[in-house]
Structure 1
Amino acid sequence: MILYISPIPTAFIQRDIEMLRPTFKIIHLNFTANPYLLPVYFIFQFIQLLILLPLTSKYLCFFAGYHTVIPVFFGKIFKKEVIIECGGTDAMNLPKIDYGNYRKKWLKKATIYSFKNCSLILPVSYSLVKSTYTYDKDSPKNQGLLHLIPDLQTKIQVIYNGFDVEFWTDDQRKKFPFSFVTVATGISKKNRALVKGIDLVLEMAKAFPSYTFTIIGDSEFKTTLPNVTLLPPLNQKAIREVYRQSQFYLQLSYSEGFPNALAESMLCGCIPIGSNVGEISKIIGDTGFILAHKDLALLHNLISTLKEKDLESLRKASTQRVKNKFNYNLRKKKLIAVLT
């Protein structure tokens, strides 16, 4: 039996569990993102892992942090394999926007301990292994596990995210002209909004009042801009419907590992516009547009010139790129091979 341990439930974690359940027996245990509840959850998790220990063959964790300390400790003591999927915040240090596990003393210690003492690290992108950050000149350039933990010796294997090309499809309907969508949860918190680039989305909404912008994911977030539609978290079918109506997807994040929504929207025929962080430029390739630096003038110029582009060709190319490079079955095959 594999114990799958995560800090909070998310759609991409659920997708991995569904991917693996036909092959393995999996029990999913969630931790907490609430710092005030940490002592209680440490005790609760210790009891859970102790009870399940005789049945456990290995631990699979998404992200490193407080929730991986006890599984890694158990792995070392009881000779169980512990695999950590590195997703983003656990391989980044961006103090300007208060992002990344390395900005807090004890979270940093928990993250480093977990990565140093686990059996295998599975980042979702090469940028999380070692990268040079150039999007914002005021942030540290050296990012990724090998920069942040220079003496890290644990084996690393990158496995990209994969997407269901049978579900996320472009139904070829006519798109609403110059309609832009982005998905971002938790953006009612200021630093989360900055991480997801919502400040830039709102600036573009002000600059282009005839264009429409949709933000999905946080019912608490507010704006008075008339051309911005705010939607709460939606199920996958509802999100797919928004993608199929929208012409462009905005991924203007300050930091990302491998953004799932970007690839899913591309499969639905959205033309991608993304920031030059993480794996975004490799996902988009030549099928969309990259904002090289966090610069409003650059972004304004990019949006202004969209009318001059062959948008229909980009629509088709973006869908095909994700089908070819980031297929669900490829990730499934690689994960199963690692866990077998």
Structure 2
Amino acid sequence: MRGKMILYTFPVRTAFIDRDLEMIRPVADIKPLEFTQSPVKLPFYFILQFFQLLWFLPRTSHYLCFFGGYHSVLPVWFGKMFGKRCTIQAGGTDCINMPEIGYGNFRKKWLRIATVYSFKNCSLILPVTEALVKQDYSYDSQINSKQGLLNLIPDLKTPIQVIPNGFDTDFWRDLGKIRKPFSFISVATGTSNPSRAMVKGYDLIEQLAALHPDWTFTLLGDSNYFSPNQNVQVLGKMKPAELLDHYNSHQFYLQLSTSEGFPNALGEAMACGCVPIGSAVGAIPEIIGDTGIVLHEKSLETLDSELIQITASSKPPTSASNRIRVFFSFSNRKKLLVEALSL
């Protein structure tokens, strides 16, 4: 498909975006266009994006968006106006309404309108997990149980195809290093914002750390996050090679999110041999399978009991790294994504 180009728009550039670019570039020209997450900058970025889409229009064959939201409105409109396909990859917050914890596109009037318009008028929706299509949420009892696109947009008719994330297991691998017993790691950005920290389950992690001062916890991704516990080490963003080393030095990976799509860090840590401990939200249960602990209710007592049980057992959990290699490979996602985009 050389000569024509895919325009890939997203609110912030992440490792997920870079991985998609790596998958698509060998078979098609693709141009990344970053938008903004800042409400103050929205008017400027709408104008900028309009002229970007206009400038690239003669060469554009397809619009691709990561998440539905403000940044996907104009690509969807251009697609309808000029007869070009527009595909949206649904990732998590764009399929959620959780005002109780300040999370999800659907809790804000104008963002909800932009999201609904985008999903109703695009050509294809590619969620990273079936849980974002429709789910009966039960992990946190204070939160509305009806989540996912078909619950939030009942009259949605756009075709939907689930394509899970994939991981480069040649890079993310178990290096065979000695791991410190009862060492826990979790990775998330933006957690200095209390609402974001709660979404990522840091409130439960802190309770666990307070309960076991002899256990060690490492929280990566936001150096401005403050922990009241002395056994919690807080570090900022890491390069992939540094992350690889940290994953390989810890025994457990914690993904105790209140809401989640398909967490990349969980898959990376499992590929590196960490025993996964996750909440029963989004794709987390299907990623973990029988390789660790899936917490079905937000409860410190239940979490602590299951951790004690798994560490006391003489039978080691099924290999987490092998599960990622078999079920969530880079090559499988690439194949499905390339086919869905008709490249």
Q: Can you give the 5+ residue segments of structure 2 that lack an aligned partner in the other structure?
A: none
Structure 1 residues 4 and 310, CA gap change in structure 2 (3 angstroms): farther
CA RMSD of aligned residues (A): 0.9
Query: Is 1:216 matched with 2:215?
Result: no
Offset, 1:137:
1.2
Offset, 1:143:
0.8
Offset, 1:302:
2.1
Equivalent position to 1:229, from 230, 233, 243: 233
Offset, 1:12:
0.8
The residue that corresponds to 2:184 in the other structure is 180
Query: Is 1:266 matched with 2:270?
Result: yes
The residue that corresponds to 1:245 in the other structure is 249
Equivalent position to 1:289, from 293, 296, 307: 293
Equivalent position to 1:55, from 31, 54, 59: 59
Q: Can you give the 5+ residue segments of structure 1 that lack an aligned partner in the other structure?
A: none
The residue that corresponds to 2:338 in the other structure is 336
The residue that corresponds to 1:134 in the other structure is 138
Offset, 1:224:
3.8
The residue that corresponds to 2:319 in the other structure is 317
Counterpart Cα distance in 1 of 2:194 and 2:226: 12
Letter in 2 for 1:326: F
The residue that corresponds to 1:119 in the other structure is 123
Offset, 1:306:
3.3
- How many residue pairs are counted as aligned between the two chains? 338
Offset, 1:304:
2.7
> Any idea what SS the aligned residue of 1:255 has?
coil
Query: Is 1:4 matched with 2:5?
Result: no
Counterpart Cα distance in 2 of 1:13 and 1:70: 19
Counterpart Cα distance in 1 of 2:228 and 2:104: 30
Equivalent position to 1:150, from 149, 154, 173: 154
Letter in 2 for 1:294: K
Offset, 1:317:
1.4
The residue that corresponds to 2:40 in the other structure is 36
> Any idea what SS the aligned residue of 1:301 has?
helix
Q: Deviations over 1:7-27 (max 9, x none)?
A: 111111111111111111011
Equivalent position to 1:166, from 145, 170, 179: 170
Q: Deviations over 1:272-311 (max 9, x none)?
A: 0000111111111111001111112212222332321246
Of the structure 1 ranges 168-177 and 266-275, higher mean CA displacement relative to structure 2 is found in 168-177
What is the TM-score of this pair, normalised by structure 1?
0.98
Letter in 1 for 2:340: V
Letter in 2 for 1:241: D
Offset, 1:138:
1.3
Query: Is 1:75 matched with 2:79?
Result: yes
Letter in 1 for 2:319: A
Offset, 1:160:
0.4
Counterpart Cα distance in 2 of 1:310 and 1:99: 40
Q: Deviations over 1:100-148 (max 9, x none)?
A: 0000000000000000000000000000001110001111111110000
